Amino acid sequence: MTRMATIQKHDGTVLEAHRTGIRRPPLYRVLLLNDDFTPMDFVVVVLQKYFSMNHERATQIMLQIHREGMGMCGVFTKDVASTKVGQVISYARQHQHPLACVMEENE
C-alpha cells in the first residue's frame, strides 16, 4: 500500500481508503565489469553508443570501472536493461573483446 486516506465522520465512524496493487515497476542497474583485455577506447565508445554519454563522462566512467572493478552505466526498466546488456555483449564479441555487462535489480 502506498497511501491511505482516512475520513472521520461526525458520528465517529472512520472511513479508510486503501490503495493496493499500485507498484512502481522495479528498475535495474546495468553494470560493466573490468577485464585486462578490452581496450579503454572501446569501452568509451560503448558508453557513448549505448548509454548516451558524452566523451568526457564516458571516459570518467571507464576509468572508474578500470580502477574499481565495475561501474554503473545507468538504471532502466527490465526490458530496456536486458536489451542494453545484449547489445553491449554482442557489439563487444563482434570486435573480439571479452567485455562483460550485467544487470541487477536496483533495491
Q: Which residue, 42 or 80, is less far from ligand TYC as judged by CB?
A: 42
Tell me, residue by residue from 11 to 50, as one string, x for binding to ligand TYC by CB under 6 A and - for no binding: ---------------------xxxxx-xxx--x-------
Alpha carbon distance 103, 32 (integer Å): 9
- In 3D space, the residue among 103, 92, 86 whose CA is nearest the CA of residue 43 turns out to be 92
> Is 97:42 a contact under the CB 8 Å cutoff?
yes
Q: Which of 30, 53, 58, 65 binds ligand TYC (CB under 6 A)?
A: 65
User: Rule CB under 6 A: which residues touch ligand TYC?
Assistant: 32-36, 38-40, 43, 62, 65-66, 99
